[in-house]
Amino acid sequence: MGFLTRSLLGLFLLAATLALLAVGGVTLRNAIEAANEGPDWSRDPSERIFSARVLRLEPARIAPVMIAYGEVRSRRELELRAAASGRIVGLADDFQDGAAVEAGQLLVKIDPADAQSALDLARNGMREAEAEEREAIRALSLARDDLAAAEDQAVLRDRALQRQRDIADRGLGTAADLETAELAMSNAVQGVLARRKALADAEARADRAVTALERQRLALAEAERGLTDTELRAGFSGVLSGVAAVAGGLVSTNEKLGELIDPDALEVSFRVSTTQYARLIDRDGRLNALPLVATLDVLGATLEAEGRLARVSAAVGEGTSGRLIFARLENAPGFRPGDFVTVRIAEPALDDVAVVPGRAIGSDGTVLVLDAEDRLETHPVDLLRRQGDDAIIRVGALAGREIVAERTTLLGAGILVRPLSDAGASEANDRSAENVPLVDLTPERRAALIAFVENASDMAEAAKARVLARLREDRVPAEIVARIEARMGG
């Protein structure tokens, strides 16, 4: 019985071996036949079609926007310096950083005792000079009258002398009478000369009095300025900055006590390249007064101010390039000198142009254009401007045609594509989002995932916030859950 069983088992194994050999032989023969026959060229393989987002080029009139970065500064700044030395005896309540003051407002007062004494002495000297001038004028008037009287007396003496000579010629007078008349005439002439000298002295005295009075007036004006210099007043309405004065402190002449800035007279200075500068000037080389907008980003809140180009620097600084341009801001609430702002300048408008994504233009300056069969072909374009991620190109012969908005390495000339407009791409994205598998989470599982993400130190805050927002939804994408649990080791 055992012999029969072993015989049957051997026959079974032999049959199975022969069957496997037969199957192997058939498989080998089929492979050899297929290799000898070669590929079946009679069958057309299906061509792969790529999806691509396209846009239609329509010529338009567009004003390019030049972007630059600059610093806000004030056109009116005044350094507050002490014009006199001494002790500070008074400070305005508003004399502090950031305080607004009015034109002519008293800010700092220095001890005026010495200046007041000098002014009083100058006033006394002025009164003395005026009195001396009046006395000199009276003396000059008397000297003139005295000279006139002496001249009249000389005339009378001359007549008496002529009369005595006439009498002597007729032989009636004596020699003694003639000599007496001549002596009197001589004395009269000497008297006239003495009076003329006295008049000259009086005139010189009057001149000296006038000069002394003018000198004293200058001294008085200087003393008044010295007293005025003990008070520091605001030259115009503005805001104080860099205040460095304290009550009771000693200051020296020309010591800086602060700055006064006009916050309403602001301008922005920014540097552009020489190529950009060439687009801002006219044919005569003068800077066009183009409009601009200065933007200041303050913790998410945006402040904007409009302005116009005003002037350009006279020379290029050492170690710099391009041009430094100044623009006047017309209305800039919230801006302060020293702010770093973004400047957007509206350039002269261009005709027959279009704005396309920067990725639509290849490194060789061409774009991919769709033909009638939705196949791609390359076409050179005239690139006029680049504005951030966009570019401005000349439309020309491409008017009304569709181009690929975002080129990839898979796209090239001759490729068949399935065009997607912006609306079609949005619908495709929505369908993709709808097809994402979602899972329901238990409270314990959700809490564990949230705790792991919150404690993950290697994740950026923005990415962490996005993931936490998805985890707090009712249904969570399964892919996110799988990635997190894989990192958790679950």
Convert the pLDDT of each residue in 375-407 to its tens digit. Answer: 889 989 998 888 878 889 999 888 888 898 888
Taken in order 392, 394, 399, 404, the sign of the CA dihedral is negative
Above 90 in pLDDT, residue 270?
Answer: yes
Greatest mean pLDDT among 142-146, 294-298, 443-447 lies in: 142-146
User: Regarding the domain delimited by 351-420, which CATH topology (the fold level of the hierarchy) does it fall under?
Assistant: 2.40.420
490 confidence band (pLDDT: 50, 70, 90): very low
The more confident residue out of 371 and 30 is 371
Above 90 in pLDDT, residue 471?
Answer: no
Write down the pLDDT at residue 431. Answer: 43
Above 80 in pLDDT, residue 143?
Answer: yes
Average pLDDT of the residues in 94-115: 89
The more confident residue out of 179 and 225 is 225
Average pLDDT of the residues in 142-163: 84
Coil/strand/helix, residue 15: helix
Rounded mean pLDDT of the chain? 83
Query: Class of 114-228 per CATH?
Result: mainly alpha
The more confident residue out of 475 and 258 is 258
Taken in order 456, 457, 458, 461, the sign of the CA dihedral is positive
Which CA distances in Å does 104 have to 60, 107, 256, 277? 55, 9, 18, 42
Any idea where the domains of the chain sit in the sequence? 85-111+230-260, 114-228, 261-346, 351-420, 436-488
Write down the pLDDT at residue 327. Answer: 93
Above 90 in pLDDT, residue 173?
Answer: no
Average pLDDT of the residues in 345-361: 88
Q: What is the pLDDT of residues 195-221, one digit of tens each?
A: 888 889 889 988 999 999 999 999 999
Q: Identify the CA nearest to 441 among candidates 479, 488, 481.
A: 481
User: Regarding the domain delimited by 85-111+230-260, which CATH topology (the fold level of the hierarchy) does it fall under?
Assistant: OB fold (Dihydrolipoamide Acetyltransferase, E2P) (2.40.50)
432 confidence band (pLDDT: 50, 70, 90): very low
**Cα 454 to chain center, whole Å?**
42
Write down the pLDDT at residue 3. Answer: 67
The more confident residue out of 354 and 8 is 354
Average pLDDT of the residues in 306-315: 91
Write down the pLDDT at residue 46. Answer: 61
The angle subtended at Cα 416 by Cα 410 and Cα 417, nearest 5°, is: 75
Q: Identify the CA nearest to 293 among candidates 320, 265, 263, 270.
A: 270
Is the CATH code 3.40.390 the one for domain 261-346?
A: no
The more confident residue out of 421 and 118 is 118
Q: What is the pLDDT of residues 22-36, one digit of tens each?
A: 888 878 887 787 666
Write down the pLDDT at residue 430. Answer: 45
